Amino acid sequence: MEINNIDLTKLTPDKRYLKEMEHVVYDQEWFKTAENFELYDMYRKIKVENGLRYDVTIIHPRMFANEFAKTKGHIHAGFYGEVYMVLEGEGFYLAQKGDEDNIEDVVVTHGKKGDVIVIPAGYGHVTINPSNQELKTANWVAESDKGNFEPFERNQGACYYYTTAGWVKNPNYKQVPELRFQEPLKEVPTDLEFLKVPKT
């Protein structure tokens, strides 16, 4: 399912601002006095095809004190998976399985332009921009899906933060395994029907 030649200047994005990130930022003291800058743009439902929707998100190169810019983080309300494509820049795609008492698995994929990242069904996830350039990333996800931000807000973000000192465990989770890393795919899977099958 290829999407080409989309002119985003003709579309109006939803915008995420820093103040909406209060409950997921690592450095809460810094947050109290930080200006409310624009963090990322979300172009939703650019295309809907065969029960899937195509979105584009642009994460600006900002810092939260010593933490790199990221999305708020969510798990899919229907426990669906998601496929991301890196259009410009680079990003870390962190996916975690479990709850605040026990994270069973946490995996990070480092994607660059042209790379594809598959988020498994049942995993919450966050996208991080670790560079000084914009990260432009697209995704395919079930059209009916709605992201649930509450688990990330309740625990002050994902189970790891990415900072200038590297990966830092989030102490709000009781049990967190060591990070594992995996390589991205080089092309979008031919059949995306699995994205419409929720985890049971």
At 166-189, the pLDDT tens digits run 999 999 999 999 999 999 999 999
Whole-angstrom Cα distance, residue 162 to residue 22?
17
| 26's tokens | 């690592």
pLDDT in tens, 14-34: 999 999 999 999 999 999 999
Position 70 in a domain? yes
Position 192 in a domain? no
Position 170 in a domain? yes
Tokens 């295309």 -> residue: 47
| 166's tokens | 């590297």
CATH of residue 52's domain is 2.60.120.10
Specify whether the CB–CB gap between 9 and 28 falls below 8 A. no
Q: Which domain holds residue 39?
A: 12-182
Position 7 in a domain? no
Position 171 in a domain? yes
Number of domains in the chain: 1
Ramachandran category for residue 164: left, alpha or beta (phi over 0 → left; psi -120 to 50 → alpha)? alpha
| 3's tokens | 């999407």
Position 46 in a domain? yes
